[in-house]
Chains A and B, each alone.
Chain A
Amino acid sequence: MSAADAPVQQVDLDVLERTWGPRRPGIVGWLGQCNHKAVGLRFIVTAMAFFLIAGAMALVMRTQLAAPENDLVSPEVFNQLFTMHGTLMMFFFAVPILEGLAIYFLPLQLGARDMPMPRFGAFGYWVYLAGGILLLSSFFFGAAPDGGWYAYPPLTTAAFSPGLNIDLWLLGVTLTEISAIVAAVEIIVLIFRSRAPGMTLARMPLFGWSMLATSAMILVAFPPLVVTSLLLEIERKLGTPFFDGTAGGDPLLWQHLFWWFGHPEVYIQLLPALGILATVIPVATRRRLPMRWLVVASFLAIAIVSFGLWVHHMFTTGIPHLALQFFSSASFMIAIPSGVIVLSFIAAFWTGRANFDPPTLFAIGFLVIFVFGGITGVMVGTVSFNFQAHDTYFVVGHFHSVLIGGNVFPVFAGLYHWFPKVTGRHVNRRAGQASFWLMLVGFMLTFVPQHVVGFLGMVRRMWTYEEGLGWEVWNLASSLGSGILGLGVGVSVVAFAVAWRGGEPAGGDPWGAPTLEWSTASPVPQHNFPVIPVVASAEPRWGPLNRPDPVEASPWYAALGNPPEGQRETPVTTPIHGRSAAVALLPTHSLWPLWTTVAIMVVLIGVLFDLWWLAGVGVVLVTASLVAWTWPAGRTDLREADIRETEPTPLDGPDRGRNVRTFRVVTDGGRSIGWWGTVNGVIALGHLVGATAVATVYLRSRTVTWPPTATEPPGVTAIVIAAGLALVAAVSTSLAERGTRSGRAARPVAALLLVLAGAFALAGGLIHLIVTLRGNLPVDEHAFWAIWWLIGATSFVLLVSATITAWVTAWHLGKRDVIRTGHDAELAPVRLWVWSCAVSVVALLAVAMGSAVWWG
């Protein structure tokens, strides 16, 4: 029965709105909002603010370079400007704004009520904001970072960059990386478990596919940057010589770990942008995107090959030429899937009926600029050319073509496309068109001359230049162009601001678009959809089965009956076929993600100013906030219904009507949201541990004296025992989980097993702490001792986290409403996490000992 045949009662809509809306009025309610629309919009607005700040810095730099021998700003300030410009654009704008767009619109495109872990998403935003505040606060301390956006040591070590500058950069960037990992985990779980019934992976919108590839890349690429940032911060604070070539370290370790993140980062910024264009272009051309499955394959190919390019930033560091050739070939190969996507977009324009609305124009702008940047990318991917152009303005021109063409223009296309959905109002069409032309002309005038002046020998990051080098006219043109580009951005910002309040009403679907977000009202109500949509094609609003509206009540969900007011239920579907599987309960809005972030800031302020007691207080606050955050909610209505699946044939294929299944509110094991979130968290942890292991092996391979003395590291036997205790803790959680799931173990027995698991893990952690602190390791003398210390400290942190997880869950077991006998929704993730911590501890120990024994 379609929604049109059975209109939803207003009273039901009111209940839904109250259930999904903020719990409290006023500023407290606003701060505590965890709804995906609130979090997504905050990401978008904050990222745009950072974009404008970073853009203003660019204008100051271009003014400085407009004429030779200019002294508008000092060399020191210029260093700070290019560092902050690059950092804000790369870490605080380009990725976060795409995360914001995904967090806002992907649940709507997939037909979900909310993100699957809303509090986690809110935490991601607050951490991102905290990172930005930390970075920008450097101006107030007179200590803005000045080591470049990729912060190469030894320039950024304490010896050459004393003061807080680099510390603020490292901690601010680490926070935004953590935020990105949080968003990636959430988006992956959303895509695999929260799609509308009937939305198979093959029918998923291309924006979803691009975000899936991007999120997977973030889980692999960002943890190594977190590791290397922490290594540098530890080196700055404790003198550990990880990057000191005279004491067993190597500055190239930073470059390898940074660019392992840094090159995929370019595609992390590109792929979601391509997904946005794959959303905008079918609407603009009134036809489905040609070669859809090939575009999906291209997204995946780009995501994978992008990890084979990192050395193309290190061609001039002395790596053997044959190895460089492998990276050069990979750089050429990535042009193929990129070209497939571009050709698909061109084919849509060629065969469709394009309009010239602002989203369309920005999509065309992408095609022009990105192809230009792609071609110069193939040039700098060639080893011989790269040796000539390395660190010149040619490279500056190239990467701005890729980033502005591949990120900024698609983002603006998306903003113009989705603005009516967010506000219910249209942006002025002429203002959008004027903004586009100003930005396109401004871009060309700014960056084409930079390629030329690069050929003429101007290197990047120059504060000023002498007269008579033939660079004047190109720099003047570039500076004028940047002003026009800035004006174009300004026109859009004003147009958005004016339209927010006074734009023409847009209605639910002003574009006649094919995806689900246009099936609900504009602005979107708190609950997203009156009833959960059912999907039968890749373009639900254009498909013959769903025309004109795909919104249809799922019979199985109707059979469960309405939830009580305040109980936030969302359907869980199967990962591949999108079949209805169960119903999950989502937590309510909360301030705890914010308090947790504040507590983390207390830790960081303590570390920054060497107030270690304050850092200790912060750690206690973080722990307390996390426990309060995960505290179980009150009584819930755990309904069940045995029903015959009766969804339409196109959705379930030949199985229609065959299965009688029990649908439950509350999910178990592999179906639970928590389990899926933990799996992704474990993947990120694996890459954190993997990056630490790679750093150890790399330093070992570059150092003859490893270990520096024949003496055995202190406390080896105790550490081996600690690793054994960690494994015993893991086994205890397995026993607790299996007993609870099968119903064999009484609840007190399971709780006791978890308490024991926590105790074993804590004992192991304390052994690591004692050995690390009392061993008097000469951590500042050789990288081997620094690595040994690092692995001890990491093991302590991992095992304490395992302890807290086990003990909090043991406490939850005492609440019958939260963990029912025969269900393992909470115990399965705990088992997974404790096992991961234990295995990580064993693996790190094995790598450290192996580096000393097997190769020594």
Chain B
Amino acid sequence: MTTTDTARARPGAVAITLAVFGGTIAWAFRFGLGYLLVPAACEIGDWLLHLVTLGTALLALAALVLSLRWARRLDDAPLRFSMWFGVALNVFFLAAILLEGSGVLFVDACAKAALP
């Protein structure tokens, strides 16, 4: 396959969705799982939450690489537009995953308090 062929090959709908929204989906998983697994982390250790952060960060990174690659290569203008904002979304959600995940390093998973 020549470079021109690669440039013109149009990815499928699922691939486009994953490239544009992969980071978003990864963040949603990290957010939901993180919230639900805090009591479990209190029982068995913080490594559980670090694992979730690592896995979802890698997914977001993969989506970022894919969207960046296609944003440079695709001919179709609307698709290129989609890929560029996919790049922006993936960078943003990767940062969100890392910021939220870093909190596990500093906050005790068992601590809680309420106003009377």
Cβ B112 vs Cβ A321 within 8 A: yes
A321 touches B113 (CB 8 A): yes
Smallest Cβ-Cβ distance to A304: which chain B residue: B24
What are 8 of the A-B contact pairs (CB < 8 Å)?
A200-B78, A298-B88, A308-B27, A316-B115, A321-B113, A322-B111, A323-B34, A387-B115
CA separation between A576 and B82, bound complex, in Å? 10
Q: Are A325 and B89 in contact (CB under 8 A)?
A: no
Chain B residues packing against A (C-beta within 8 Å): 24, 27-28, 31, 34-35, 38-39, 41-42, 49, 76-78, 81-82, 84-85, 88-89, 92-93, 95-96, 99-100, 103-104, 107-115
Known: A322-B107, A337-B92, A653-B76. 13 other contacts (CB 8 A): A202-B81, A293-B85, A297-B89, A300-B85, A304-B27, A311-B35, A320-B38, A320-B111, A321-B113, A322-B41, A322-B103, A323-B38, A333-B92
Which residues of B have CB within 8 Å of A308? 27, 31
Closest B residue to A333 by CB, please name it: B96
Instruction: Tell me the residues in window 378-400 of chain A with beta carbons closer than 8 Å to chain B beta carbons.
Output: 387, 390
Which of B78, B85, B99, B108 counts the most chain A CB atoms within 10 A? B85
A318-B88 contact in complex given A202-B81, A326-B100, A332-B99, C-beta closer than 8 Å: no
Contact-residue size bin, chain A (C-beta under 8 Å from the other chain) = 35 or more
Question: Considering the chains assembled together, what is the distance between the CA atoms of A278 and B85 in angstroms?
Answer: 17
Q: Mark A292-335, 1 if CB is under 8 A from B, else 0.
A: 01101110110011001001000011111111011011101100
Does A288 reach chain B (CB closer than 8 Å)? no
Q: Does A506 contact B (CB under 8 A)?
A: no
**Residue in contact with B111 in the complex, picked from A296, A298, A321, A336, CB distance below 8 Å:** A321
For residue A319, which residue of chain B has the nearest CB? B112
Contacts A320-B39, A326-B35 given: A576-B92 contact, CB under 8 Å? no
Residue pair A325, B103 in contact (C-beta under 8 Å):
yes
Given A316-B114, A316-B115: A300 touches B38 (CB 8 Å cut-off): no
Are B92 and A322 neighbours in the complex by a CB distance under 8 Å? no
Known: A301-B92, A318-B113. A326 touches B85 (CB 8 A): no
Q: Judging by beta carbons under 8 Å apart, are A318 and B114 in contact?
A: yes
A738 within 8 A of B: no
Q: In the complex, A591→B81 CA distance in Å?
A: 43
Q: Which residues of B contact A201 (CB under 8 A)?
A: 78, 81-82
Q: Kindly report which residue of chain B lies nearest to residue A298, judged by CB atoms.
A: B88
Question: Are B77 and A200 closer than 8 Å at their CB atoms?
Answer: yes
Known contacts A201-B81, A320-B112; A333/B95 CB under 8 A: yes
For B110, give the chain A residue with the smallest CB separation.
A320
Q: Give the chain A neighbours of B28 by CB distance below 8 A.
A: 304
Q: Is A577 an interface residue (CB 8 A)?
A: yes
Please name the residue on chain B nearest to A202 by beta carbon.
B81
Identify which of residues 2-48 in chain A touch chain B, using a CB-to-CB cut-off of 8 Å. Answer: none
Q: Given A300-B85, A320-B42, A333-B92, does the pair A576, B78 have CB atoms closer than 8 Å?
A: yes
Closest partner residue, chain B, to A203 (CB atom) = B78
A380 to B15, CA, bound (A): 39
The residues of A that contact B115 with a CB separation of less than 8 Å are 316, 387, 390
Chain A, residues 183-219, CB within 8 Å of chain B (1/0): the string is 0000000000000000011100000000000000000
Contacts of B113 in A (CB 8 A): 318, 321
Inter-chain contacts of B109 with A (CB < 8 A)? 320, 322
Q: Which residues of A contact B100 (CB under 8 A)?
A: 325-326, 329-330
For B88, list chain A residues within 8 Å (CB).
Answer: 293-294, 297-298, 301
Residues of A near B110 (CB, < 8 A) are 320
Give CA–CA (A216, B95) in the complex, Å: 24
Residues of A within 8 A of B112 (CB): 318-321
Q: Flag if B78 contacts A577 (CB, 8 Å).
A: yes
CB neighbours (8 Å) of B104 from chain A are: 322
- Listed from nearest, the 8 A-B pairs whose CB atoms lie closest are A318-B114, A297-B85, A297-B88, A202-B81, A325-B103, A316-B115, A329-B100, A321-B111
Closest to A329 in B: B100
